[in-house]
Amino acid sequence: MEARAREIADRLRSAPSVTVVAHIDADGISGGAIASEALARAGIRHDVTFVKKLDEAVLAEIKRQGPPLAWFVDLGAGLLHAMHGIDAVITDHHVPTEREVPKALRGDLVRFADSADRVLMLNPHLDGEGSDVASGAGCAYAVAKALDPANVDLAAIAIVGAVGDVQDQEFRRLGGYNRTIVADGVRAGVLQASVDLRLFGRETRPVHKMLQYATDPWIPRLSGNEEACVAFLLELGLDLKIDDHWRSWSDLDRGEKQRVVSALVAHMLERGCGARETDRLIGEVYTLLKEPVGSPTRDAKEFGTLINACGRYDAAEIAYRVCRGDREEPFAEALRLLRGHREYLVGSMDTIEEAGIQEMDALQYFHAGDKIRDTVVGIAASMALNKNGAMKDLPIFAFANADDGIKVSARTTRDLVAKGLDLAAIMQAASKAVGGTGGGHHAAAGATIPPGQEQAFLEIANRMVREQLGRSGPK
C-alpha cells in the first residue's frame, strides 16, 4: 500500500491543482480532511467537495468541470469502469467494479483502470484483502505520509475514520494496514491504543448512561434500563457523582474500572450469556491525546459519531473543519448537530415500529418513505438490527425516499458475513437489475433504485441472500 501511495503522491506533486471529492460519512469526511491538510502542507493548490454518493451523473459533472487531477476519497472504486476521460487518483476501500484484477497487474505498483486515462487507485481489495484492513481515511493517510513523513500526526484522524466505519467491530480491535496507522499515531504522540471497556460514550456519558445504551454487547437487565444501571453501580460502591458532575468512564480510576468490568462479566454470565458475548465488553480503544478530557473529540468512536452527525444533515463542511482542528464556531455547531442527530434517531425507532419490519424467507425489511432521511436510514437500520429481540439471523434492508429515487441501505451481522453473506455484491447486482446502482461492504451496503422497483429489488436480493448462505427456498 505504501509503495502505491508513493506513486499517487508523485502524481499529486506534479498536478497544478487538485480537486478532492469525498464521501459524507465519518470515513469520507476524515479522509477528505487528511487529503486537504496534506495538500496544504505540501503547498499544492486544491479545493474540497463532499458528495452523498458518486454516481455517473456526479462523475459526469466532475468531468465537465475538468480538474487537472481529481482525488476521490472513500469512493470511486464502484465507478472504476466509468473513469475514462479524467485524470484521477482514488483512495478507497470499497469493492471495485471489476473485482478480478488480471494476474499480470497484481504485482504492479501502478494500478490503472485504463492506462490511457491515467486513473490510479490505492485499494486493499487489489491485494486480495477486505474492506476492513484500511478505511478510505486510512488510504488517504497512506498518501499523506508518502507526501511527507511528518504527516504521521494525521494518523489520529485516520483512526477516527476507521473506527467511524466500524472496522474494529468484528475483532474488537483494528487490523491490517490500520495497525501501521495506529503505531504511527502512538509514535507521534497523538494517539493512545489501550485495552478497555469498549462501550460507546467513555468520555462524555455518565457511567450509568453508558451502560443503559449498551448494544454491543447487549447487557441483560441493564441495557435500556436506567434505574437498573444506577442500582448496579451503586451496589459496587461507585460514586456516580462528584459535586454536580456526573462521572464518565474516563473519570474512573483503574481500580474502579476493574471492579465494574468484573461485575459486568459476572452479571452477564449469570444471566445466560456465553464467553462470546461477554468477550465483547472489552477491546482496544483509541484516544486522541491532543484533545481535552471529556470532549467527544478525544475518543475515536465518539469523534466518528460527531462527524457522522454533521455529514448526515448536509453539514459535511462543518465536520471537515473540526477534523482540520477548528474548535471555535464549527465545533459548537457540530455539537448542536450531534444533539439533534440523537433526538432524530430516537424518533426513527418509533417510525420503524409504526412501519413494521416485514420478513421474507431470507431477509427482513422496512420502508420509511419520507419519514426517515435517506442519509440516516442506514444508521436506523443498524439500530433496529441491534435492538434486543431483533431477528439477527436475517439481514435487514431499509428503504427511504431520496431526491434521486429510493435509497436502500442493508445491514447484517458479522456472523452472517462469516457464513458467506456479501451485501456489496447483492446491492450491486440487485440494483443494476432494476435500473439502479449500488455497492459497499460485505456487512453494510447501499443502493439507489427507481421508485416502484422495491418489490422487484427485494425478490432478487432475497434469492441472492438465500444462495450465498446456502439456504433452501420457501416451501
Which among 151, 184, 205 is the end of a domain?
151
Give 98's pLDDT tier (boundaries 50, 70, 90): low
97: confidence class by pLDDT, cuts 50, 70, 90 = confident
Q: Positive or negative CA dihedral for 460, 461, 464, 470?
A: negative
Q: Are β-strands 88-91 and 119-122 bridged in parallel, bridged antiparallel, or unpaired?
A: parallel
pLDDT digit string, tens, across residues 365-422:
999 999 999 988 998 898 888 765 567 789 999 999 998 899 999 999 878 988 999 9
pLDDT higher than threshold 90 for residue 107: no
Q: What is the DSSP string of 153-209?
A: GGHHHHHHHHHHTTTTTTTTS--THHHHHHHHHHHTTSEEEEEEE--S-TTTSBHHH
Pairing relation of β-strands 245-246 and 282-288?
A: unpaired
pLDDT tens figures, 252-306:
999 999 999 999 999 999 999 889 889 999 999 999 999 999 999 999 999 999 9
For residue 312, tell me if it sits in a domain: no
- Judge whether 181 and 159 are in contact, CB under 8 Å: yes
Sorted by sequence, the CB contacts under 8 Å of residue 291 that are 6+ apart come out as 297, 298, 303
Domain housing 455: 356-469
**Grid coordinates representing 236?**
459496587
Give tens-digit pLDDT for 184-228: 999 999 999 999 999 999 999 999 999 998 888 889 999 888 999
Would 169 be classed as within a structural domain?
Answer: no
Q: How many CB atoms lie within 10 A of CB 286?
A: 27
Asked if 178 and 142 count as a contact pair (C-beta separation under 8 A), the reply is no
Considering its fold, how many domains does the chain have in total?
Answer: 2
pLDDT at 109: 41
In a domain, 137, yes or no: yes
Residue 383 lies in a domain: yes
CATH number for the domain harbouring residue 56 = 3.90.1640.30
Q: Which of 151, 172, 187 is the last residue of a domain?
A: 151
- Whole-model pTM? 0.83
